Structure 1
Amino acid sequence: MTEPLLLTTAFLIGLLGSTHCIGMCGGIAASVGLNTQGGRYPAWLILLGYNLGRISSYTLAGALIGIAGAMVATGITGLILQTFAGILLIAMGLYVGQWWFGITRLETLGGHLWRHIQPHAAKILPVRNPHQAVLLGILWGWLPCGLVYSTLLWSSAAGSWQQSALLMAAFGLGTLPAMFTTGLLARQVRSLMQKRLTRQIAGALIIGFGIYTLPLNSLFNL
């Protein structure tokens, strides 16, 4: 696959997975937006800072896992990694479509790290300026999330830390429309994104991306 196609796929995974993002991070985004009303800075600027901070954490995580992925993504090991990533995307599609919820067990893996980060994030609230918003987003970007973990593992098969970082940045940008508008139009966006049909369409498309990720031809030729 060419790089533009990979980046587009990562963006669409983030966009379609926003139904999950609203459930995980929509509350804090809405809170950040509401708490800035009447303040010195407009709500949109605070929300932009929060989301850019969050996306920067995804990008850093992509670079880190990309380093590890580049070390092993060769030969049969690379095929196993890519297969696992595709399976995880299929599982996330099943979760987003509300057909199967086993992927949530992945989120417990990051619980130990989040236990140390969450108290620092709580100290920043309520957010009063863009600097605090960016810092909150950076910390909140490490919240245990099955969608992020699945996409991280998928990006690790890219072959380089630079490509993995770009894929996670594109994924983060895909989540931006829903997360940004959730902070400004919380009730309207949440109502649309939580509709059963919306979730099922998004879930089916993510499953499609997962199947497309699977190196079926290479596996059959082993």
Structure 2
Amino acid sequence: MQPELYLSYSSAFVIGLLGSTHCLGMCGGISASLSMALPVGRGFRFRQSLLLLGFNFGRIASYALIAALVALVSTSAAQHSKMAGMALMTLAGLLLIFMGLSMGQWWQGIRFVEKVGAPVWRRLSPLTKGLLPVNHLWQALALGALWGWLPCGLVYSTLGWAALQPTVPSAALTMVFFGLGTLPSMLATGYAANWIRDLKSNRQFRKLSGILLVLFGLWTLPWQALLMG
């Protein structure tokens, strides 16, 4: 594994962790509702865990697929044009900065970026209704695979970073690590953990996460190229 890819994978994981409060707002409700249709009794906790893991596996698989589709275009463009590569780096950095400003509740401009995926979601969202209530693993997997296409500024910000990867598989793997970073809070929400709800409303945590995401974005920007011209 190349050192720069390792850094990107670990950083993508950290971005997922930092953005977990945003994930709770976008996906936390559906994750928590997976348990509601299950009868409480023997085997409840096992079935609950199976459905939660299935939903999140489907969600992360969709992130990887979207990254692969984006990378098919971005890697080719970056290889053929140095300017295209710098433009991608600039876009990725700005998206992370926008997401950080949103997390810190300083500016919500990332919502305009989320509108990019709205047409696709309008076509996919009706399919989710046919999968509810979720009683079987295949339903949880399918629901997660559809939910991964929900317009989300945090996902788009990380996708911009994944698009900088040199190959399609490395771009997809970047999003897998990002998804794994969001997993702890998503699972905790599914288990109705009170501490994760408190974390979501903690202003200090949101501001700290926002600052760190902005720093990630600033680090991503191609400063040398921008300053030279």
Instruction: Give the secondary structure class of the aligned counterpart of 1:142.
Output: coil
Please name the residue that 1:28 is paired with. 30
1:138-217 residue pairs with structure 2 within 5 A?
A: 138-217=145-224
Larger mean CA deviation between 107-116 and 3-12 belongs to 107-116
Which residue does 1:71 correspond to in 2? Answer: 76
Q: What runs of 5+ residues in structure 2 fail to find an aligned partner? A: none
- 1:98 paired with 2:105, answer yes
Q: 2:60, 2:180 within 8 Å by CA — same for their partners in 1? A: yes
Instruction: Provide the TM-score with structure 1 as the length reference.
Output: 0.95
Mean CA deviation greater in 31-40 or 119-128: 31-40
Partners of 1:36 and 1:46 within 8 A in 2: no
Deviations 1:40-89 (A, max 9, x none): 65211110000000000000011110111111114111001101110110
RMSD over aligned CA atoms reads: 1.5
SS of match in other structure, 1:2: helix
More moved, 27-36 vs 172-181 = 27-36
CA distance in structure 1 between the aligned counterparts of 2:4 and 2:59, rounded to whole angstroms: 27
The structural deviation recorded for 1:194 is 2.2
User: How many angstroms does 1:202 deviate by?
Assistant: 0.8
Secondary structure, counterpart of 1:71 in structure 2: helix
The reply to whether residue 59 of structure 1 matches residue 61 of structure 2 is: no
Partners of 1:34 and 1:195 in 2: CA distance: 27
In structure 2, give the amino acid aligned to 1:5: L
Which amino acid in 2 is paired with 1:124? Answer: L
Distance in 2 between the 1:37 and 1:4 partners? 43
Name the amino acid aligned to 1:59. A
TM-score normalised per structure 2 = 0.92
Cα distance in 2, alignment partners of residues 81 and 192 from structure 1: 33
Q: Residue 45 of structure 1 corresponds to which residue in structure 2?
A: 50
List alignment gaps of at least 5 residues for structure 1: none
Does the residue aligned with 2:133 lie in a helix, a strand or coil?
coil
Identity among equivalent positions (%) equals 47
Tell me the number of residue pairs that the alignment of Structure 1 and Structure 2 aligns: 222
Residues 29 and 47, structure 1, Cα contact 8 Å, conserved in 2: yes
| Correspondence for 1:12 among 14, 28, 53 | 14
